[in-house]
Copies of this chain bind each other. A is one copy, B any other.
Amino acid sequence: MVAVKTVGRLSIYRRILNRLLSEGAKNVFSHQLAVMAGVTPAQVRRDIMSIGYSGNPNRGYGVADLIESIGSSLDDPEGQKAALVGVGNLGRAILTYFSGRRPKLAIVAAFDNDHKKFDRVIQGCRCYALDRLEEIVQELGIDIGIITVPSGEAQKVSNALVRAGIKGILNYAPVRIQVPRNIYIEDIDMTMTLEKVAYFARKK
């Protein structure tokens, strides 16, 4: 089991590596990856070590091999499916963002209360009525939920997702959601982050 922060950085390295690959790069050194990822070379080496991949002291890391190796650590070989709940501006932005980007990880269903959105297909992802959440999640074998509803509804939506059997939640609503201990939850708190930037813009 890889540490939380390491998983995050591996995901970033992989994105960089994919770009490098498309630019024709064969190998890359830890110090190059480090600059592109905004971390130290030692950190890069340690992260890569933690997934058991080894570079070559003279060539660095093999771009294609390392992508492969990160994939076999991070990805489910069967692929994983996510559902997005709340098709507002933010929800649509996320759908656009992800649309067909990672083969092993796709948002396959969206849910909303607004009947004008039902059955519309947004970025290749069909929109369903919120009260069909459990049914559809189970039918499609979805195991990740993305919450982009207003704060007031987030806990209710989360409960429904958990009942439906979801294992991980990405929560954009600015409230802490209570979930059973076996569910992994990650919050993206945009207001908090902006306030952090504001503080350090002044103090740094």
Residues in chain A within 8 A of chain B (CB atoms) = 1-2, 4, 7-8, 11-12, 15, 35-38, 74-76, 80, 82, 88-90, 92-94, 96-98, 101-102, 105, 143-144, 146, 166-170, 174, 176, 178, 182-204
Contact = CB atoms under 8 A, between A and B. Distances in A.
Copies in the complex: 2
A92 B93 CA distance: 9
Contact of A144 (B11, B88, B201): B201
Contacts of A182: 204
B89 A7 contact: no
Nearest to A88: B93
A194 B15 contact: no
Contacts of A200: 4, 7, 168, 184, 186
